[in-house]
Structures are given as C-alpha cells and as structure tokens.
Amino acid sequence: MTKDDDTPNANAPLVGAARIAAYVRLLPDLPGVYRMLDAKGDVLYVGKAKSLKKRVAAYAKSGGQTERIARMISETRDMLFVTTASESEALLLESNLIKRLKPRYNVSFRDDKSFPNILLREDHPFPQLVKHRGARTTKGHYYGPFASAGAVNRTLNTLQRAFLLRSCSDSVFESRTRPCLLYQIKRCSGPCVGRIDSTGYHELVHEAEDFLSGKSRSIQAQLAKEMDAAAAALDFERAAILRDRIRAMSHIQSNQGINPTSFTDADVFALFSQGSDVCIQVFFFRAGQNWGNRPYFPRSGAHSSAAEILSSFIAQFYDERESPPLILVSDPPADAALLADALSSRTGKRVEIALPQRGEKRDIVEMARSNAREQLARRLAENSAQVQLLEGLADLFGMDSAPRRIEVYDNSHIQGRHAVGAMIVAGPDGFEKGEYRKFNIRSEDLTPGDDYAMLREVLSRRFGRLLKDEDTARAKWPDLVLIDGGEGQLSIACQVFADLGIEDVELVAISKGPDRDAGREHFYRPGQPPFRLDLKNPVLYYLQRLRDEAHRFAIGSHRKRRSKALGANPLDEVAGVGAARKRALLQHFGSARAVSAASLTDLQSVEGVSATLAKKIFDFFHAGG
C-alpha cells in the first residue's frame, strides 16, 4: 500500500464530532436552538443554549459523554441553528420543536388531545352551561381544565341539579312552547317558557359562577338559610328544591377527593420511574377544587435524569396551554428558574415552580407520586402481556419479529349507502387511537354494496399515500395488515399490494365462523390453506379484539356519516341563504321539498328574500329545467 493510500480523502463528508466541530467557529455567542440531523435528514435531537457557540463546542470534545449522547453525536451528519432574543425564548422554541418533530433522543410524549372545560356563556340573555373543548372563541367564563370528558360530564350533570341552568342549544331554547323533561325532573329552571324571569335566572348564574370560582361553602350556607326560612314559612316545595340543590353541591365536593386549603389554582407534576420507563401524573386544581388527573408516559432515553425529563415535559405540556400561577413538582426540574420565567412571559403573569418540603402541598405531591407509581406498575404489567401476544402473532404467522404496528381494515354501509372504510392501529402500547383513520368511499361507479371494490379503494388510497410520502412511511409502515373477510377480501388486498409493488407486509384475512360464532374464525394467508386456532389460545382472543375494534370504529364512522346526511338540507348549498333566511323559508313553505317546488313569485313573497336571491333559489332547484 502506498503512502497516498493511507491519506484520508479530503473530500469525504465530515461526520459525528468532526461535523459538529466544523460549525463551532461559525456560531455566535448568542442564545438559540440547535437541531442535530442524521444521514436521512431526520431530526435526532433538539436543544437550547444560552450560548450556541459554547454549547455546540461541548459536543465536539472527545470523551466525557454519556453513552446516549455519544451515540447521538456519532449519528449526526448535519445541524441547523436558530438564534433567539433570550434564553427563555429559546426554551419555548425548543419545546415547540420537540413536540412537533418528536426527535429520537429528546424526552417527548404524545399529547394529541386538548383538555375539556366548562363554559358558562355570556353571549345570550339566558346563559347556557356547556362542555367546551378547543379555542376559547365564545364569550363567557371558562372553568378548567378537567382531566377528562367524563369528569366534565359528571360535573355538568350535577351542576344542572344544583343551579338549574339550561343546557339546551339556542335553537331549541327559542322553539320551545312548553317545559321540557329536564324541567320536569328539576334539572332546569325553565327560562325558555317563562317559568323563571331574567332576574331570577341571573341569580342562579351568579351562584354557579361563585361555586365554580371556589366559593362553594358560602353558597351552600346561603342556600341552607333560605331552606330553613322556606320550611319555617311552610313552603315545603321550595325547601325541598333547595335541599336537593345543596345535596348536589355536596356530591360534587365528595367526588373530588382532596380539595386543598393552602392554594387555589395549581397543577401538580409527580414523576416515578423504573428503569427507562417513566410515568408522570398531572393533577389539576382550580378554585380550590380537584378537577381530576391524567397519567403520561413520556418517551425518554435510558440515561435521562428526572430533572431533565420533568423540565422537558413541563415545557412541552404548556406549549399550547396556559399555565396556572403555581406548579408543584415531585423533583426539581432542570433550569427551573428559566422555565418559570419562560412560562411567566407566555402567560403574562408570574408563574412559580415549587418543590414542597412539608405540609399539605407536600402531601398532595406525595399522593400524586403514589398514583404515578401504581399507574406505571399497571402499564408495565399490561405491556408484558401485550409483548407476549405480539410474539405469539409473530410465531403464528411466521414473522421474523413481533409486529410493531398492526393495521386492521373493515367497511361499513347499508346497501351501499354512506359507505365508510375504517383502519385501526395497534402495537406494543395497545390500541393507538390517534392513528385511526376513516375513508369515505368516493368511487361514483362503484356498485352499491360491493365490499371488494370498497376494500380496493381504501387500501389503494392508504398505501398509495404512504408510498408518495417516504418520510411518513418510515414511521407509519405496518408490519402486519389484517382484513375483516375471507378469501375474496384477501385476494383483493394481494392485488392492490402487487399493483403498488408492496412485498414486505404480512397479509392476513379473518372470516367469521359458521353462524358468525366467535371462536370459530378462519384465517387466510396468501398461498396457504385456511386454518383455525384452538378456542383457548390467547392469540385468538387478541385477534378477535383487533377485529371487533375495527368493526366498532367502522360502524361508528358510518353512523356519523349517515346522521350527517340525514340532517343535511338542500338549502344549505344555496349561496346567500344563511340561517335566518333558511328559517324564514322553512316557516313559510313548511319543508325544503315545498321550497324546491315554489314558483319565483312565491319565493319573492318571503320576508327577507330579495328578487335576486329568489332567482338564485329557483335556479338552484330548476337547473337545466
């Protein structure tokens, strides 16, 4: 070998620490965010820095890195940088990017749902008490967050009994001519039909506001006085109503568990870890009341500390939410002061992050940590069973390893109408409902009720889209596809995969047994005879669960589409016909069918309908006539 053969290629691309070192001299001594990319351009890690130059230089030094960081550095092929005005701004940007990009080496968690709130509307003379989720665009008072929709529904149900506020929509409220059932069972005061005047109704509204704002005991004391006075005046009917309202309020408080006295608004974050598995329990306290809790299982590196996990988790948690003035934690987060400053700047008010050492706050944090420990133990036990089931699937279908992603497909329709295809997803963590998809069948030349054609359309759309988007395909590509059906459905799936050139996905069809008996299912695989499983085989039960979940999701999607179609009105498609004019037309003619048959003169006679609009409506129903 010559000397020239030993000389490194000067044109070879720099990798790992050498690549990182090449950036250092070009970086400013300013705060900002950096991203490390692998050979495919995927983001490996997102980090923030008070000084980009100093922080990135630390990665270029040899030695002194943990195994996780050393592996990340070795995989780095490129970097991206963004400078910010302050370190707090860098922290907020970092949390946003981690949440959106979910880099492999960052602590991240799935957070695909907003928390529900209770909304007491202010945009109507008789305010409505409703559940609300999403942007706060409606004028009114918002109370929350609640940990789950179930917690909100239970609280609303009891609040109706306690304060008798309406829950009906505005259109129902305006069209009532006599009291509804809720009035009859003493869960509404009947403002729609004048059973209570505006003054009396707004007294109930103010009482509800005080109760939801933490003044529950004063409201109960006042109602108790009124009940005693009514009883003394021999008005036993009113006394009974007040008694029931007091009981309803007590019911809410008794079901909330711990209600603190040392603070009013706070969120509690308690972490418990076992090996590389982590659970964080988040408890919500508002107006001195416990509004529920929710467990999270953030994905973190094996060597991530509790401080790092909590800091990253809290920053991402409040990326799109407003934080309360107090955050109680079970462990001190990394950069706690910086995190508090960042949250304060976002909310426009001071936010404190505290690690309580004694008293009621410490007891509440310990209670939350105990919940996190129990929840993690349950999850690990469930995951262990899930892993065994997935390994059983791999053995059954001759796969090289347990499937990481299973997709199950089913169709639902009634004689071909409102046809919907459904896909559910399962994996090591169970059903992944955020990955479920429904497909409204679009083919106009499809024969009504042709299940084969529906399946062909669904699979073609799904896998055609995956093949077009290589970045998505890497994360979304299934190992196993299950089809609800028999040999015919399997044949269609094989044709679609052959047309698209797909060869690395295991295909299985599941047909129901004779008389649709569970346990007598037949399984079909390409090129192999059908077979059945022993009735006591746990893998059979798991496959039944997968199929039944797909069936449930398909039927639910079909029903929603059918209900939407039943509620549709052709007048909704006429440009210029809004809610008021639609109501006027229907009140004048009685139905949309009568509107479609009306003459131009009759349409013009409706109040609010101009000659131009009447012509539009007439032409819409008589196009080509």
3-state secondary structure 13-41: CCCHHHHHHHHHCCCCCCCEEEEEECCCC
What is the rounded CA–CA span in Å between residue 168 and residue 130?
A: 9
What is the rounded CA–CA span in Å between residue 83 and residue 30?
A: 7
| Residue at which a domain ends, from 232, 254, 276 | 254
Answer yes or no: do 524 and 580 share one domain. Answer: no
Residue 382 in domain: no
For residues 455 and 516, the model is more confident at 455
CB-based contacts of 203, cutoff 8 Å, min separation 6 = none
Answer yes or no: do 144 and 219 share one domain. Answer: yes
Q: How confident is the model at residue 525, as a pLDDT?
A: 93
Q: How confident is the model at residue 377, as a pLDDT?
A: 86
pLDDT tens-place string over residues 377-429: 888 877 788 888 999 999 999 888 899 999 999 988 665 566 888 899 998 88
> 494: pLDDT confidence band, cut at 50, 70 and 90?
very high
Answer yes or no: do 131 and 242 share one domain. Answer: yes
The answer, yes or no, to whether residue 257 has pLDDT greater than 70, is: no
Answer yes or no: do 491 and 578 share one domain. Answer: no
Residues 555-582 have a mean pLDDT of 71
Q: How confident is the model at residue 339, as a pLDDT?
A: 92
Residue 273 in domain: yes
Q: How confident is the model at residue 416, as a pLDDT?
A: 53
The answer, yes or no, to whether residue 7 has pLDDT greater than 50, is: no
| 3-state secondary structure (DSSP) of residue 591 | coil
pLDDT tens-place string over residues 327-369: 999 999 988 999 999 999 888 899 999 999 999 999 999 999 9
Answer yes or no: do 123 and 250 share one domain. Answer: yes
> 248: pLDDT confidence band, cut at 50, 70 and 90?
low
Residue 36 in domain: yes
pLDDT tens-place string over residues 309-333: 999 999 989 887 888 999 999 999 9
pLDDT tens-place string over residues 90-130: 998 998 898 888 888 888 776 656 788 888 888 888 988 88
Residue 109 in domain: no
Q: How confident is the model at residue 173, as a pLDDT?
A: 87
Residues 444-468 have a mean pLDDT of 82
CB-based contacts of 492, cutoff 8 Å, min separation 6 = 452, 455, 456, 459
Angle at the Cα of 176 from the Cα atoms of 174 and 182, rounded to 5 degrees: 115
Q: How confident is the model at residue 625, as a pLDDT?
A: 45
Residue 395 in domain: no
Q: How confident is the model at residue 589, as a pLDDT?
A: 79
Q: Which domain holds residue 30?
A: 18-101
Q: How confident is the model at residue 592, as a pLDDT?
A: 75
Specify whether the backbone of 345 is left (phi greater than 0), alpha (psi in -120 to 50) or beta: alpha
Answer yes or no: do 316 and 415 share one domain. Answer: no
Residues 595-618 have a mean pLDDT of 85
> Which CATH number belongs to the domain containing residue 609 in this structure?
1.10.150.20
Q: How confident is the model at residue 258, as a pLDDT?
A: 64
| Residue at which a domain ends, from 224, 254, 284 | 254
Strand order across the beta sheet in which 43-49 lies? 43-49, 32-37, 78-83
The answer, yes or no, to whether residue 1 has pLDDT greater than 60, is: no
Q: How confident is the model at residue 147, as a pLDDT?
A: 75
Answer yes or no: do 303 and 249 share one domain. Answer: no
Residues 541-555 have a mean pLDDT of 89
Q: How confident is the model at residue 566, as a pLDDT?
A: 53
Q: How many domains does the chain have?
A: 5
Residues 255-265 have a mean pLDDT of 71
Q: What percent of the chain has pLDDT over 90?
A: 24
Helical packing angle, 306-317 and 336-347, nearest 10°: 0
For residue 454, which of 423, 498, 475 has the smallest C-alpha distance? 423
The answer, yes or no, to whether residue 151 has pLDDT greater than 80, is: no
Residue 553 in domain: no
Q: How confident is the model at residue 518, as a pLDDT?
A: 59
Strands 406-414 and 480-484 turn out to be: parallel
Burial category of 179 from C-beta neighbours within 10 Å (exposed 0-12, middle 13-18, buried 19 and up): middle
pLDDT tens-place string over residues 170-225: 888 888 888 888 888 888 889 999 899 999 898 888 888 877 776 666 676 777 77
pTM: 0.63
Answer yes or no: do 236 and 126 share one domain. Answer: yes
The answer, yes or no, to whether residue 5 has pLDDT greater than 50, is: no
Residue 432 in domain: yes
